[in-house]
Amino acid sequence: MVRAASSPPAARPDPALEAERLAGFVGGQSAIVVAVTPDGQALPEIGTLPFVRHEGAFWVLASELAAHTRPLIEHGEARVALLADQSVTRNPFARERAHWAARVEAIDREDERFAMITAALRERHGKTVDLLCGLGDFHLLGLHPGAGSYVNGFGSAFVLDGFSVVSQRRG
């Protein structure tokens, strides 16, 4: 009896390498998508906000004029996502992306962290940050990522805990 040659087992991804890829992906993005469902509504409000990653969170300036801001502050939780630019995505089905459940933290202007975080936002996004900080309807919000998922190609999906790769996602 002749046995068919079996193919070698698929190599398991290295969590450290995937965490490095995730860090590079996050660092290459400039805006985060947020989704939150206001009380009494069946559908979520969705927005996109420029961010800076600082001390384990995504930090954004959000205006009360945006439908998502008040529910973010009131609920203290949201879904957040990063999506690779479509122009650099060869196949939209395999688009690099990450999403998380996030805890939302509002920082008062008097908090000592406000100046440090807004300085990081200014360094990343320019002088417009100073203008927004001068407007009373803008709030500094920290989006602290928890459980999530990272996809960087076909069959390449990972379970996240914050910015840590926990395991490969299996079908």
Span between the terminal Cα atoms of the chain, in Å: 34
Residues 6+ apart with CB under 8 A from 146: 100, 101, 102, 103, 161, 162
Take residue 21 and report the two structure tokens written for it: 């890829």
Alpha carbons 62 and 74: distance in angstroms, whole number: 13
Q: How many CB atoms lie within 10 A of CB 150?
A: 24
Alpha carbons 91 and 72: distance in angstroms, whole number: 33
Number of domains in the chain: 1
Could you read off the pLDDT of 68-120 as tens digits, one per residue? 999 999 999 999 999 999 888 888 888 999 999 999 999 999 999 999 999 99
Query: Which residues form the domain of 30?
Result: 15-168
Asked if 101 and 34 count as a contact pair (C-beta separation under 8 A), the reply is no
Alpha carbons 8 and 116: distance in angstroms, whole number: 51
Q: What pLDDT score was predicted for residue 12?
A: 66
* pLDDT tops 60 at residue 10: no
Q: What pLDDT score was predicted for residue 7?
A: 45
Q: What pLDDT score was predicted for residue 88?
A: 84
Q: Is residue 2 part of a domain?
A: no
In this prediction, residues 19-36 reach a mean pLDDT of 95
Take residue 120 and report the two structure tokens written for it: 């990081």
* pLDDT tops 60 at residue 147: yes
* pLDDT tops 70 at residue 48: yes
In this prediction, residues 6-34 reach a mean pLDDT of 81
Q: Is residue 4 part of a domain?
A: no
| Nearest residue to 159 via CA among 171, 143, 147 | 147
Q: Is residue 164 part of a domain?
A: yes
**CATH code for the domain in which residue 80 is found:** 2.30.110.10
Alpha carbons 74 and 69: distance in angstroms, whole number: 9
Q: Is residue 157 part of a domain?
A: yes
Q: What pLDDT score was predicted for residue 145?
A: 98
Q: Is residue 153 part of a domain?
A: yes
171 or 108: which carries more pLDDT confidence? 108
